[in-house]
Amino acid sequence: MTYVVTEACIDIKDQSCIEVCPVDCIITADEDRMVYIDPEECIDCGACVDPCPVDAIYADADVPAELAVYTDINRNWFADREGVRQELESVKPQQPDPAPASPEAD
């Protein structure tokens, strides 16, 4: 068993999970929209679950069916980061920043 980061992490990247991981198996890069757990390094301790402010982390056996795609996304990131970045964009397209409010005329 390993842990999987799911959709709720996208564009949040709080990184509280990284701070508590005893084996440093949770990784991200500036160009990523979420963090990823290396299934080869994860020791299944679950230390990352409670600190996650958006409840994005599940044991792989407990990932809800509607989020199952994230199991492969997490695993594949370690072999093909750019490919996963493109897949993530197709699964959950990045929303454009909202336009700043225009100042009201006085």
Residue 46 sits at φ, ψ, to 5 deg, of 75, 5
Domain of 32, in residue numbers? 3-91
Q: What is the mean pLDDT of the chain?
A: 91
Cβ 70 vs Cβ 4: under 8 Å: yes
Check which CATH number belongs to the domain holding 25 and give it.
3.30.70.20
Q: What total number of domains does the chain contain?
A: 1
Within-domain flag for 97: no
List pLDDT tens digits, range 64-81: 999 999 999 999 999 999
- How would residue 85 be classed by pLDDT, with cut points 50, 70 and 90? very high
Average pLDDT over residues 25-32: 95
Residues 6+ positions from 41 with CB-CB distance below 8 Å: 23, 24, 25
What pLDDT does residue 79 have? 96
Determine, yes or no, domain membership for 103. no
Those residues with Cβ within 8 angstroms of residue 14's Cβ, 6 or more apart along the chain or in another chain: 52, 53, 54
